[in-house]
Amino acid sequence: MGAGAYGGWSPRTAVEPGAAAATPFEAAEGLLAEILFDFQGISRREFRQGVLETMGRSPSSRLFHLDVKEADTAREHVREILRSIRCARDPRAVLRSLGEALRDHDPYDGALPWLELAVLALTAETGLPTAVLLRLIGLLRALTPTPGPERLLGHLPPRAPGRNLIDGRTTLPEILGRLLDHFGGPDPGYALTFLDGLVRDPELAPRHPQLAEIGVLLTSLTVARPAPREVAAGRLVVQIRLDPETPEHIEASRYHLRASYYRQPLAGGPIERLNDLVAGDSLAKEDLVTEGSARLAGWQALFTEMARSKRSPVRIEFLLPKALLGHSAELWSPTPGGYRLGLLHPVVVRSLDRYINPWLQTPDWYERWEHLFAETMECEAVDRIGWPPLHPERAADLPGWLDGRPTLACLGLDTPYDDLDPRVRTAVLDAMVFDGVPAMLWRRTPGAPTDLVEALRRDRPRSLAHLPEAVHRHRKVTRAAESQDGITLFWDDPNCVDPDQDAGFPGMV
């Protein structure tokens, strides 16, 4: 950055005593101007006019372009734009419309995330004083070169809201914006923890003197650092994975059993791998329940972990290829008395294909997953399970049916998965891949789906996020009735994915 659009503006201006009487927008105009001048197209009159005309069509800044005085130079024109925003009846709304217009006209410009972060500082409650956050933005913009993704990701709090949406492509301002702008009210704790990590990073400090200034600023803050949200040990997640070792269409197919267990916060989110099961010989399909149960029974590390954290909830996840999704996973019994897993803990199945293939991990998957946690007073949670028509001649209608239900997160199948017509089964699998459906429920024996819904309704789950526990309870209540025992819950938690799983097992090449 050079001298700045306003002749050498310093990020300190936002908190110097002389600026105390200025409005936040007056104090921020220099920073906003510098960010705007980083846009590639801002020096062109037609670009600026296009942005203003887009703002003028927004309900938040109707006809705003008519209020901005023309200027001969880009520098003067930007000054007039910012002055007009400051003088508007609702400057916050108009500033937001500026950010939206720039996103429309130049969505990939590197200056856009910085502008959106500055807009957040001026228009939203983040838990940090506006002047402090503006100064932080100024100091962070001065980090040249910007720390790489491996350094940034290394300082992210593991339980931060939206952690699953941050990856190696997320920029520094985008990370800070997501840590500050989340559901649940203002809470700057995660953002401060992230910044503390950057300040204390021994690799970054020698190259970035601005970090020392940021450290002084953070030390002077009186904002309380929140206590960890989860005081419990978290959920133990055991993943049992069956990789096809032979083509699945042959009769005597075999599977390679691998397994790991993880710790996950009770509210959901990223997982931490704790231990892996040593891989053994492959298993024949007809021996999966018996031989697989014996392998789990010999997993001493898992036994020790479960004994150490007796009160921690446990979820058993079977990662299955598509040809095996109808497998009776809850019948595995790794105990001396032959007690079934499905009666001891919630047992779910999930797609091995989507787990191991990043191409199938689409934004729709994450978005529909979030809708599982929605609570409503309008209907029971189980009434939000969608039951599409599954007649073979109507299989092609499923994409349109789902497109009209963007918040639907769980499908109910009125026919057992293994009994589905091939055309319907393909449509159901496509719904998982292309529409991002994260959860499905079906009986493994023919029967009215209403019976299953009514059974789950008796557990009165507050949201569909409690389906694993509701199904577990139903299995326990109906354990004496064989005809009621066959229920599969497909449960594909996008946060509960270990991208390093393929490389983390002994004997893998």
CA–CA separation, 375 vs 293, rounded Å? 37
Q: Which residues of 395-409 are buried (b: 16+ CB within 10 A; e: fewer)?
A: beebeebbeeeeebb
Q: What's the pLDDT score for residue 483? A: 53
pLDDT value of residue 105: 94
With helix as H, strand as E and coil as C, how does 202-264 read?
CCCHHHCCHHHHHHHHHHHCCCCCCCCCCCCCCEEEEEEEEEECCCCCCCCCEEEEEEEEEEE
pLDDT in tens, 318-328: 999 998 999 99
Cβ neighbours around 98 below 10 Å, total: 24
Render pLDDT for 457-492 as a digit per residue (tens, 0 to 9).
Answer: 776 777 888 899 989 988 888 887 655 557 899 999
Q: Evaluate if pTM is beyond 0.85.
A: no
Whole-number pLDDT of residue 2: 36
pLDDT of residue 250 exceeding 90: no
Most confident option among 126-135, 259-268, 313-322, 448-457? 313-322
Which residue, among 236, 220, 500, 436, has the nearest Cα to 345 in the 3D structure?
236
Q: 8-62: per-residue pLDDT in tens?
A: 333 333 444 443 444 677 888 899 999 999 999 999 999 999 999 999 998 888 8
Span 109-123, mean pLDDT?
Answer: 92
- Domain ranges, ordered by start, for the chain: 11-220, 236-358, 362-493
List the beta strands (DSSP E) in 347-404: 347-351
The owner of tokens 């109507």 is: 394
SS3 assignment, position 410? strand
Mean pLDDT of the chain: 83
The predicted model gives 297-316 an average pLDDT of 83
pLDDT per residue over 343-361, tens digit each?
999 999 999 999 999 899 9
Is the pLDDT score of 89 beyond 90? no
Res 183: pLDDT: 63
Answer yes or no: is pLDDT of 90 > 50: yes
Alpha carbons 87 and 91: distance in angstroms, whole number: 7
User: Quick check: 480 and 403 in contact, CB under 8 A?
Assistant: no
